[in-house]
């Protein structure tokens, strides 16, 4: 097993030739009735956007894949090599009660010949934390941050209940084959095909980025990254993965879970209305949006972007306030699709209905029926 230097040499040489086009591609599927579908479906959909990437990153997030451990936090960890496991597990053992752990299965492929080592742990906060009445989600966030900062050659890929992220260097269809995603079934899936521009193409830098049950796949650039990162630093979040998209996941956690904003309010703060548009509203609505934009100014995102945000209760899609990146939404029965291209939706659902492009800066929020 080669040492990947996840934090000292944040790059991995791709076996793929550089391309001249750039874009990034994404797609998400949610079955509102929680009917689970095979990972082969999302693989087929994102494969349709092959030319949006260059082989330097692909990844997936899946929800509902661990029903036998649905009440435990599922931690996916990526290691430089098996030799880095022991020191990291000392942190895990001191912080968590681990009910089950195993190597994440993967297949040998001719496309992915160099890769880190992956393990998953199904756990909950230890007895001492439970007796102290510490909020379990807060505790898990602190544990994730501790591992990402202190553990040598390791970081947490995902940490939510009944969900997991699978990502790496390669085209997404190759990552799907590597992690054998056709063996998993979930009721929410997202996928990403990466074309990195100003951040490195490495295993940890692939999308999605996650925290607890939240995951983000993103097309574009967060040009406000520096401001957003400093804002998060002041509120106890540490960005360690050397890419702009990481801040989005932490911002949503801070606004929605910690500050108890609704998702409508959260995404209004992330992509705030222009002042000229706020001035046209009635006084009550003007006051609400002015307060959101003023109080959470450090959370506002700038730059061209479209991203999908998934969580255990739903799927949200949004693009920037002047629509510099594409996003298409379609549906069929209880299923809703969000994608960079309508062609990917038609690939897996030829008779999808009501396909449309959302207005710039307007979040499309789809909840599970039970939510």
Stretch (H or E) spanning 190: strand 188-193
In this prediction, residue 200 carries a pLDDT of 67
Tell me: pLDDT of 246 over 90. no
Question: Distance from first CA to last CA of the chain, Å, rounded?
Answer: 44
CB 224 within 8 A of CB 297: no
Q: Provide the pLDDT confidence category of residue 244 given band limits of 50, 70 and 90.
A: confident
DSSP 68-88: GGTTSEEEEEEESSGGGHHHH
- Please check whether residue 166 is in contact with residue 179, taking contact to mean a CB–CB distance below 8 angstroms: yes
- Say whether 220 sits in a helix, a strand or coil: strand
Between CA 327 and CA 25 the distance in angstroms is: 10
pLDDT at residue 50 is higher than 60: yes
Per-residue pLDDT band for 19 (boundaries 50, 70, 90) equals very low
pLDDT in the model for residue 12: 40
Delineate the domains of the chain, giving CATH numbers in brackets: 25-223+311-367 (3.60.20.10)
Asked about 355 being catalytic, the answer comes back as no
pLDDT at 35: 97
| Contact present, 26 and 190 (Cβ < 8 Å) | yes
Average pLDDT over residues 83-94: 92
Token pair 């804002």: residue: 231
CB 354 within 8 A of CB 331: yes
Q: Alpha-carbon distance 46 to 52, whole Å?
A: 10
Q: Would the pLDDT of 245 be above 90?
A: no
d(CA 4, CA 32) in angstroms, rounded, equals 39
Strand partners, 73: 123, 161
**pTM beyond cutoff 0.85:** yes
Is residue 322 exposed (0-12), middle (13-18) or buried (19+ Cβ within 10 Å)? exposed
Pairing status of strand 328-332 against strand 209-211? unpaired
Output 185 or 361, whichever has higher pLDDT.
185
**For residue 219, what are the β-bridge partners?**
306
Q: How confident is the model at residue 339 (pLDDT cuts 50, 70, 90)?
A: very high
Structural contact between residues 305 and 222, judged by C-beta atoms closer than 8 angstroms = yes
CA 230 to CA 209: how far, in whole Å? 18
Q: Does pLDDT of 13 surpass 90? A: no
Best CA proximity match to 308, nearest among 264, 369, 245, 241: 245
The residue annotated as part of the active site, out of 24, 239, 349, 355, is: 24
* Span 26-49, average pLDDT: 96
pLDDT band at residue 198 using 50, 70 and 90 as cut-offs: low
Q: What is the mean pLDDT of the chain?
A: 89
pLDDT of 111 > 90? The answer is no
What's the pLDDT tens digit per position in 138-169? 999 999 999 999 898 999 999 999 999 999 99
Q: What is the largest CA-CA distance in the chain?
A: 63
pLDDT surpassing 80 at residue 310: yes
What confidence score (pLDDT) does residue 69 get?
A: 97
Whether the pLDDT of residue 22 is over 80: the answer is no
Burial of residue 136 (number of CB atoms within 10 Å: 0-12, 13-18, 19+): middle
Write out pLDDT tens, residues 272-286.
888 988 899 899 999
Helices (H), the chain: 39-47, 85-95, 127-131, 136-150, 172-178, 225-233, 246-252, 263-270, 275-278, 283-295, 342-348
Tokens at 256, concatenated: 């929605």
Helices 136-150 & 85-95 angle (0-180, nearest 10): 160
pLDDT score recorded for residue 16: 41
Asked whether the predicted pLDDT for residue 174 surpasses 60, the reply is yes
Q: What's the rounded Cα separation, in Å, for the pair 115 and 326?
A: 32
């Amino acid at each position: 097993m080669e040492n990947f230097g996840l934090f000292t040499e944040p790059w991995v040489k791709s076996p793929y030739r550089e391309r001249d086009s750039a874009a990034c591609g994404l797609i998400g599927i949610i079955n509102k009735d929680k009917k689970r579908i095979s990972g082969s479906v999302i693989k087929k959909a994102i494969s349709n956007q092959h030319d949006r990437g260059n082989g330097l990153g692909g990844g997936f997030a899946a929800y509902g894949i661990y029903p036998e451990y649905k009440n435990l936090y599922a931690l996916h960890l990526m290691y430089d090599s098996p030799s880095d496991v022991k020191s990291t597990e000392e942190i895990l053992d001191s912080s968590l009660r681990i009910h089950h752990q195993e190597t994440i299965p993967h297949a040998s492929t001719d496309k992915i010949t160099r890769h880190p080592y992956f393990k998953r742990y199904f756990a909950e906060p230890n007895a001492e934390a439970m007796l102290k009445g510490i909020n379990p989600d807060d505790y898990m966030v602190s544990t994730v941050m501790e591992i990402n900062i202190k553990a040598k050659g390791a970081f947490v890929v995902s940490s939510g209940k009944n969900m997991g992220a699978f990502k790496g260097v390669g085209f997404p269809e190759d990552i799907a084959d590597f992690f054998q995603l056709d063996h998993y079934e979930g009721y929410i899936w997202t996928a990403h095909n990466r074309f990195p521009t100003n951040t490195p193409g490495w295993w940890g830098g692939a999308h999605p980025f996650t925290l607890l049950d939240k995951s983000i796949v993103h097309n574009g650039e967060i040009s406000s990254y520096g401001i957003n990162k400093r804002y998060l630093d002041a509120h106890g979040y540490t960005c360690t993965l050397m890419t702009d998209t990481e801040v989005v996941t932490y911002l949503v956690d801070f606004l929605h879970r910690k500050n108890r904003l609704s998702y409508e309010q959260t995404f209004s703060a992330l992509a705030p209305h222009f002042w000229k548009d706020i001035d046209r509203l009635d006084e009550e609505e003007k006051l609400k949006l002015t307060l959101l934009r003023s109080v959470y100014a450090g959370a506002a995102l700038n730059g061209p972007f479209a991203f999908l945000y998934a969580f255990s209760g739903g799927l949200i899609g949004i693009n920037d306030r002047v629509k510099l990146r594409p996003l298409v939404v379609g549906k069929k029965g209880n299923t809703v699709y969000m994608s960079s291209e309508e062609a990917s939706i038609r690939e897996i659902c030829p008779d999808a209905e009501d396909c449309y492009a959302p207005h710039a800066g307007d979040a499309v929020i789809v909840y599970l029926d039970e939510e």
